[in-house]
Structure 1
Amino acid sequence: MIDDWDQMYASGEYSHHWDYAYPSQELVAFVASIAFPPDACAVDVGCGAGREAVFLAEYGFRVVGVDLSREALHIAAKRAREAEVEVDWHHGNVLRLPVDDQTVDLINDRGCFHLIPEEDRNRYAVEAARVLKPGGRLFLRGCRMNEANWDRFVAVTPEAVDRHFGEWFERGPVLPLRLVSDAGGEGLPANLVVLRRRQDG
């Protein structure tokens, strides 16, 4: 699986499916609406080619970007240099994040959780709960349905969110949107939800 991702980034094929020239409008609106502290830390899980991690660094966050693909991280690092921002890039697994307990204000997930198989989703939730500060947010977006031609996706539904995150997080409404890219088309039907780490969880 890792080789598949590396090949897609090395060949440039990723740019025909999920790359985009600007950070998503929903992320821009979200961070503008929350009074994060000046020294806030954000972790971009499944950061890919780094577009949103770079935006978060430009916005003033201390940013950690994590991805399974070394090729994606090479592209991401180049984008950060071009934007003249610092991002702490890590080749790794979102189920074992390279950050200390309760040190993160925001986890950004654009299309990572929907690639986590059902048997590992609790581990994802536990790891998110471990690294987030009480009151920290998980900004989660992912495919909202399973279709035959999207067999690698595991749907992000209200039921799935409650099942896996309910022990540690409070959640807002699950809202429909589309994950659009610069490749054109209508984008991927997805859901967006903001989860807040409980103070006492």
Structure 2
Amino acid sequence: MIRRLFFELHYMLKKARWDTGISPPELIEFLEMQPPGRALDLGCGTGTNAITIAQYGWDVVGIDISTHAIRKARRKTNSVGAKVTFIQGDVAELKGIEGIFDLILDIGCFHAITTASKWEYARNVQKHLGPNGFFLLYTWLQQEIDGDKSLSLEEKLLKLFSPCCKCINVVRSSDWASHRLSAWFTMRRVP
């Protein structure tokens, strides 16, 4: 409830600092190399990345906890003529999301959900990621996944998604806005 209020206020009162309006080059590079399919944008915000994916010919569904963000996303989509289905909802629950996806994208949502929600989130990625599908995840590496101190946060994250995904690439960096350690994970559904 508090988390939802935080995001509602950011999208309602001002431009959220994480909402750059620009899709990252890692996503563009992926889209240029892959044939279109069905995509799910987790924590889609105002729809920038969902719209970009749709412009590459994909059938896209975006979900975000913020009603204000979803309203802005729908307006943006209509103004550029893209076709994206936007759903207001919790990424850990994915109510209203059906079927499988060739691409599941999360740019900056995973690190904003509660530790308890991360497990449900991972189960939903496993449930909705299709055969040989890709899971692209950009997240901070300074977060808690569980109480186990024997593994690094990166190792915990990979372990969390290991029942369904194999990590094929990790690009570590520092988040430009928060100066936190971050990484792009490219994972693929294991048969």
Matched, 1:140 2:163: no
Percent identical: 27
Secondary structure of 1:105 counterpart: strand
Q: Within 5 A, what are the aligned runs for 1:118-197?
A: 118-145=115-142, 157-180=153-176, 188-197=180-189
TM-score (norm 1): 0.82
Aligned CA distance change for structure 1 residues 187 and 51 (closer, same or farther; 3 Å):
farther
- Partner amino acid, structure 1, of 2:58: F
Matched, 1:80 2:77: yes
Cα displacement string for residues 66-88 of structure 1 (whole angstroms, at most 9, x for unaligned residues): 00000001111111111111110
TM-superposed CA distance for 1:128, in Å, is 0.4
Q: How many residues align?
A: 181
- Partner amino acid, structure 1, of 2:106: D
- Partner amino acid, structure 1, of 2:33: S
Cα distance between partner residues in 2 of 1:130 and 1:172: 20
Cα displacement string for residues 150-191 of structure 1 (whole angstroms, at most 9, x for unaligned residues): xxxxxx9421222211111111232113445xxxx6865411
RMSD: 2.0
Q: Within 5 A, what are the aligned runs for 1:13-162?
A: 13-14=15-16, 17-34=17-34, 36=35, 38=36, 40-97=37-94, 98-101=96-99, 103-145=100-142, 157-162=153-158
Cα displacement string for residues 125-148 of structure 1 (whole angstroms, at most 9, x for unaligned residues): 1100101111111100011225xx
Cα distance between partner residues in 1 of 2:45 and 2:179: 18
Secondary structure of 1:107 counterpart: strand
Cα distance between partner residues in 1 of 2:179 and 2:80: 26
Contact 2:142–2:180, Cα closer than 8 Å, also in 1: no
Task: Give 5+ residue unaligned stretches, structure 1.
Answer: 147-155
Q: Which has the higher contact order (CA 8 A, sep 6+)?
A: 1
Secondary structure of 1:161 counterpart: helix
TM-score (norm 2): 0.86
Cα distance between partner residues in 2 of 1:29 and 1:142: 18
Aligned CA distance change for structure 1 residues 186 and 117 (closer, same or farther; 3 Å):
closer
Task: Give 5+ residue unaligned stretches, structure 2.
Answer: 144-151
Cα distance between partner residues in 2 of 1:31 and 1:12: 30
Structure-2 residue corresponding to 1:198: 190
